[in-house]
Amino acid sequence: MSTSASLPEGSAAAQGPDTDPTVIDRLVKANQEYASGFSDPGMDARPVLKVAVVACMDARLDLHDALGLSLGDCHTIRNAGGVVTDDVIRSLTISQRALGTRSVILIHHTNCGLESLTEDFRHEIEDEVGQRPSWAVEAFRDVDQDVRQSMQRVRTSPFLLHTGSVRGFVFDVTTGLLREIDPA
C-alpha cells in the first residue's frame, strides 16, 4: 500500500469523498438536530455498568448496537486494531482508579486493516518524511493471537486495580457475532 499523503492537484482522488470539506459541516448540522431534542440525563461520569470496552476503530463496528449498550453504560477506548497500547493502559488506569470500572472487554474483528500492514509501514513513513514514528504499528497476522496478547497486557499491567475480569472477542463484520477467544 502507498503511504503517500500527496495527491496530484485536480485528480479524481483529490476530489473524492475523503477530501470533502463539507463532511464536518454535515456532522455539525446533525449535532444541532441532536441537541434540539436533548435533555440533560443527569448522569455521573462513572459508567453505569462499570465496564470499559477496548475496540478497533473500524467503521463497521457499532459497539453500542452490537453490545446492547446505552448512554452512560461504559467507557469506550478505540484505536487502530483495538490493541492494548501504553495509551490504552493510561485510559484503563483512569477508568478503573478514578471512575470505578471493574471489567474490560476487548474487541478485535475480522477483516481488520492491521492484518494487511507490517512494521515496514513505519519505515516507509520514515523514507517519505525523514522521521520514523516512535509508535509501533502493532500489525498482526493472527487476530486470535493478537486478542490473547491484548488480554495479557491488561492482566499484567501493574497500574490497573482490576485485572481478573478481562475477556477478549473477535467481532465478525459479516454476521455481527462475537466469538470469544480462549486466553490460554
Which positions lie near Zn ion, rule CB under 5 A?
56, 58, 112
Least distance (Å) between residue 105 CB and Zn ion: 16
**Nearer to Zn ion (CB atom), residue 104 or residue 160:** 104
Rounded CA-CA distance 109/126 in Å is 29
**Nearer to Zn ion (CB atom), residue 56 or residue 166:** 56
**Nearer to Zn ion (CB atom), residue 59 or residue 184:** 59
Cβ neighbour number for residue 140 with a 10 Å cutoff: 20
- Distance from CA of residue 161 to its chain's centroid? 22
User: Where do we find the cell 472487554?
Assistant: 105
| Three cell numbers, residue 97 | 482508579
Least distance (Å) between residue 5 CB and Zn ion: 21
Q: Integer distance in angstroms from the first to the last C-alpha of the chain? A: 34
**Nearer to Zn ion (CB atom), residue 50 or residue 109:** 109
Least distance (Å) between residue 75 CB and Zn ion: 19
Rounded CA-CA distance 49/41 in Å is 16
Least distance (Å) between residue 61 CB and Zn ion: 8
